C-alpha cells in the first residue's frame, strides 16, 4: 500500500520534468523592429534597426534580402551585424543587430514590407526531455524571423521646393584643387581641376554630381565621379570626387568655377556654398575679336568700293542739263543739248524742234552783247525744261 502511494507521488513529478506546459515555455526567438524617424525630409537617412534574439547562441550566417522600392532607396548600414546579448523576461538571449538605411526619393507615404531573416542558432537544451544531452546536434535550429511592416511619411520643406538637387546632412565639406597657375596662358594649354564633397549620415550615391556649364572657347572634359563610403563605429561618411580637364581653344579672358552647392541641415535649414572662381587670361586674338575685325573690314571695303564706283560714273545728261538750267549756265546748257541730240544720232533734232524759237533766243541771250538783247522777252522756263525731255 505504501509503495502504491509513493508511485502516485513520484509519477506526476517525472511527467512534469519531461514536459513543461507550452504557456510557461519562454520564446526561443524574438525579433524587434525600431525606426529613428517617421517623418523625414526627402533625401534624409532613416535608420531601421532589426534586433534578432535567440535562446542560445548563433552558429551560422544570417541571411535576408532587401526589397526594391519605387519611391525610396534601401541599403545596409553595414555588411556585418552587431553581436550582443539581452535579458528578456529574466532569460538571457544572444542578439544580432542589423541596420538598414532608408532614403526617401519622393514625398508622401512610404511603406516598407516585412523582412524575413533566416537564422541558425544552437539552443541551450535547458528544456529538453529526460535522457537528452544538452548541446547535442539535435539542439541546432534553423528559424525564420519575420519583422513588422513599416510606414513613414516623407516631405519637402518649403525652401527646398525650388531646388532640384541638394544634400540632407548635418555636416557638408567641399574643397577644390587646381593645377599650378600660370601668369598667362596660351591656346592649347590644359588646366586640371579636382573637387571633393564630403557629407555625413548619407550614402555617396545620394550626393549629386556637380554640373559644369559650357564655356565658349574652352573644351571641358569631366571624368566619371568616384564614390566612397566609410563607416566607423556607426558614424557614416560619404564622399564624391570629380576630376575636370579644361582645354583652351581660343584666346580671351575666362572665369572658371563658381558652382553652387545646396544642402539641408536638419537643425539650421537650407545652407548654400560656392566654389571659388579661377580667372584666366589667354593671350592672342579671340574668335569674337576676329569676327568683329572681319565685319568692320568688310563694311569699310564695301563703302570704299561704293565711293569709287560713284566717282567713276559721271552724272547723266539730264542731270547735267537740270544742274546747268538751275545755275543759269547757258553756254553749257546749249552744249549739253547738242550733246544729247548727238547721242540720238540726230543733229537736226534741235532745228526741227517745236521749241527751236526758244533755242534761238537762248543763243542770242548767251552769245550776243547785252545791249543788243536788251528789251527782248524773257526766256520761258517751261519751254527750256521741255528741251531737256
- Tens-place pLDDT, residues 50-86: 999 999 999 999 999 999 999 999 989 888 999 999 9
Average pLDDT of the segment spanning 137-141 = 75
Range among 14-18, 269-273, 320-324, 379-383 with highest mean pLDDT value: 269-273
* More confident position, 76 or 381: 76
Domain 174-282: assigned CATH number: 2.60.40
- Tens-place pLDDT, residues 196-247: 999 998 999 999 999 999 999 999 999 999 999 988 777 889 999 999 999 9
Rg (CA), the chain: 52
Say whether pLDDT at 2 is over 90: no
pLDDT given at position 20: 39
Torsion over CA of 343, 346, 351 and 357, rounded to 10 degrees? -40
> Which pTM does this prediction carry?
0.61
| CB 238 within 8 Å of CB 229 | yes
Q: Does domain 25-154 bear CATH number 2.60.40?
A: yes
pLDDT given at position 244: 96
Average pLDDT of the segment spanning 15-31 = 57
Which residues neighbour 256 within 8 Å (Cβ) at sequence distance 6 or greater?
191, 193, 215, 218, 246, 277, 278, 279, 280
Residues of the chain with CATH 2.60.40: 25-154, 174-282
Say whether pLDDT at 170 is over 60: yes
pLDDT given at position 140: 87
Amino acid at each position: 500500500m505504501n509503495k502504491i502511494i509513493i508511485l502516485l507521488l513520484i509519477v506526476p513529478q517525472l511527467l512534469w520534468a519531461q514536459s513543461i506546459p507550452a504557456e510557461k515555455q519562454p520564446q526561443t526567438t524574438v525579433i524587434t523592429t525600431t525606426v529613428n524617424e517617421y517623418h523625414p525630409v526627402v533625401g534624409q537617412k532613416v535608420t531601421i534597426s532589426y534586433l534578432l534574439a535567440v535562446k542560445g547562441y548563433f552558429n551560422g550566417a544570417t541571411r535576408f534580402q532587401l526589397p526594391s522600392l519605387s519611391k525610396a532607396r534601401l541599403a545596409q548600414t553595414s555588411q556585418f551585424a552587431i553581436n550582443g546579448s539581452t535579458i528578456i523576461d529574466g532569460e538571457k538571449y544572444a542578439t544580432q543587430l542589423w541596420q538598414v538605411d532608408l532614403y526617401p526619393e519622393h514625398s508622401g507615404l512610404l511603406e516598407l514590407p516585412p523582412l524575413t531573416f533566416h537564422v541558425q542558432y544552437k539552443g541551450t537544451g535547458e528544456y529538453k526531455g529526460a535522457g537528452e544531452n544538452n548541446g547535442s546536434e539535435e539542439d541546432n535550429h534553423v528559424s525564420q524571423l519575420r519583422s513588422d511592416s513599416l510606414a513613414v511619411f516623407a516631405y519637402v520643406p518649403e525652401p527646398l521646393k525650388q531646388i532640384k538637387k541638394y544634400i540632407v546632412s548635418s555636416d557638408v565639406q567641399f574643397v577644390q584643387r587646381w593645377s599650378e597657375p600660370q601668369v598667362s596662358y596660351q591656346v592649347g594649354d590644359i588646366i586640371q581641376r579636382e573637387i571633393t564633397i564630403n557629407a555625413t549620415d548619407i550614402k555617396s550615391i545620394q550626393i549629386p554630381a556637380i554640373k559644369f556649364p559650357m564655356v565658349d572657347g574652352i573644351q571641358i572634359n569631366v571624368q566619371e565621379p568616384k564614390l566612397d563610403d566609410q563607416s566607423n563605429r556607426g558614424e557614416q561618411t560619404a564622399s564624391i570626387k570629380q576630376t575636370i580637364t579644361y582645354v583652351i581653344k581660343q584666346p580671351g579672358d575666362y572665369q572658371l568655377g563658381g558652382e553652387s552647392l545646396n544642402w539641408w541641415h536638419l537643425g539650421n535649414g537650407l545652407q548654400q556654398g560656392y566654389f571659388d572662381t579661377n580667372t584666366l587670361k589667354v593671350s592672342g586674338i579671340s574668335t569674337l575679336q576676329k569676327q568683329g575685325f572681319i565685319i568692320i573690314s568688310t563694311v569699310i571695303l564695301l563703302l570704299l568700293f561704293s565711293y569709287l564706283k560713284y566717282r567713276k560714273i559721271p552724272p547723266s545728261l539730264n542731270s547735267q542739263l537740270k544742274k546747268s538750267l538751275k545755275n543759269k549756265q547757258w553756254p553749257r546748257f546749249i552744249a549739253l543739248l547738242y550733246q544729247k541730240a548727238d547721242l540720238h544720232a540726230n543733229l537736226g533734232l534741235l532745228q526741227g524742234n517745236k521749241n527751236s524759237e526758244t533755242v534761238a533766243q537762248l543763243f542770242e541771250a548767251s552769245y550776243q552783247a547785252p545791249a543788243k538783247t536788251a528789251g527782248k522777252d524773257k526766256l520761258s522756263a517751261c519751254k527750256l525744261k521741255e528741251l531737256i525731255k
